[in-house]
Structure 1
Amino acid sequence: MCGPRRSPRRSPLRRLPTSSVRGLPFALLLFAAFRPGEPCAGPRPGAVSSDPLILCRACGHELASGADVRFVPSELALSTRNDTLLGGRRVTVQLLENPQGYRFEALTFRRADVTPHWPAEGHFSWFRGFSWSVATCPRCHVHLGWAFQPSDWPETISKDEFEASERTFVALIAPRLLPEDFASSLLIIPKSFRS
């Protein structure tokens, strides 16, 4: 042996049972998430609207609010259905098909923070009397849907003109959208906390 033998040192702290240790990360997470003395839910001070925000599913960019949903019926819709997508609000979802046979479930909005790519195309529009242009997310540039403007307008207009008009709207692809209230309910647990 290489020296005097030492007796094992006892820790002054009492050892926790293994079952308590497993739940400790979850308890710490809850403590960090909810600070004492603050409300857990309810409107935030200074909140403007209780309507849920609609986010880009790819990057989380805020696109519109639930108040911006405006049903514009299409004669070419293969089907329409009512759904509760936006914080319990009922919205109409239309199934649309393009000439190549691709089908899209779409919601129509009065306005949304998307980037229309002009010039507008008048051929094969799902909405009679309207020309369309592809609309993408301004942050991640993923295709989110289409911007519609009256067919008698010039093919290229400014974004300000588009947003100011009551005659324009956007149709956004439902599976590419994410309601904020759903997104905020997601919780990612680090691998180190999993048993």
Structure 2
Amino acid sequence: MIWGCNFFIILYIIICFSKNSLLTIQDNSIESAEETVLEDYLLCRGCGSDTAPTNLIVTKLSDKYLAYSNETLFGKRKVIVQLVGNARKEQFEIIVLKKASCSLVIIDNNWKTLYTFFEGYAWKYCFCPRCSAHIGWMFEPIETALPSLKLPSDKGFYAIDLRNIVAESELKSIIATQYKQDL
């Protein structure tokens, strides 16, 4: 029990100090100097690495959704959560974001058009830059999904699997609750 508590305390300290108490984020991949006040951060469930600020969640419905709902997630109202499926009959609950932190897999880095969740868009896998866990998919309009394009352009977007992320605020509340119980 002590090891579990220490793990969460250490993780909490790392998260707090890695952000240096920043209240804004600047997306350098956008050519303008767009700054946004952060609401909350989505973290990789595997390692706690930053995935995206919740401010970047957008509404984009897949024409191949199996179901969808408006849910209150991450302190935001009306987040569209979609249930989608792949060719292997696996199902995923996804949210769509304008930008996210993804790394690429060198072995298979081509845009794919078969089995896309979004008609008219090519896709690639999105992996956590720190631990390489699968966190979702990157999408780009087919006409601009050139082999030289490594990440989505401003016309593209990201679909993140809810099973593979956690909100920073949720993690902080779990850590605080665990810490209080251990005292």
Higher share of residues assigned helix: 2
The 5 Å alignment of 1:107-186 reads 107-117=95-105, 118-152=109-143, 153-159=145-151, 162=152, 165-186=153-174
8 Å contact kept, 2:38–2:53: no
Q: 1:114-137 CA distances to partner (integer Å, 9 max, x unpaired)?
A: 124421111111111110111100
Q: Which residue of structure 2 aligns with residue 29 of structure 1? A: none
TM-superposed CA distance for 1:46, in Å, is: 5.2
What runs of 5+ residues in structure 2 fail to find an aligned partner? 1-19, 25-36
| Aligned amino acid, residue 132 of structure 2 | H
| Aligned amino acid, residue 23 of structure 2 | A
Gap change, CA 1:116 and 1:148, over 3 Å in 2: farther
8 Å contact kept, 1:120–1:156: no
Q: 1:57 aligns with which of 42, 45, 48?
A: 45
1:100 is aligned to 2:88: yes
Q: 1:54-109 CA distances to partner (integer Å, 9 max, x unpaired)?
A: 11111111111111101211111000011111124330000000011000000010
Gap change, CA 1:172 and 1:46, over 3 Å in 2: closer
Identity among equivalent pairs (%): 26
Q: Which residue of structure 2 aligns with residue 22 of structure 1? A: none
TM-score (norm 2): 0.73
Secondary structure of 2:58's counterpart equals coil
TM-superposed CA distance for 1:45, in Å, is: 6.7
Secondary structure of 1:80's counterpart equals strand
Residue correspondences, number: 146
What runs of 5+ residues in structure 1 fail to find an aligned partner? 1-43
Alpha-carbon distance in structure 2 between the residues aligned to 1:190 and 1:73: 41
Secondary structure of 1:104's counterpart equals strand
Q: 1:76 aligns with which of 64, 69, 74?
A: 64
TM-score (norm 1): 0.68
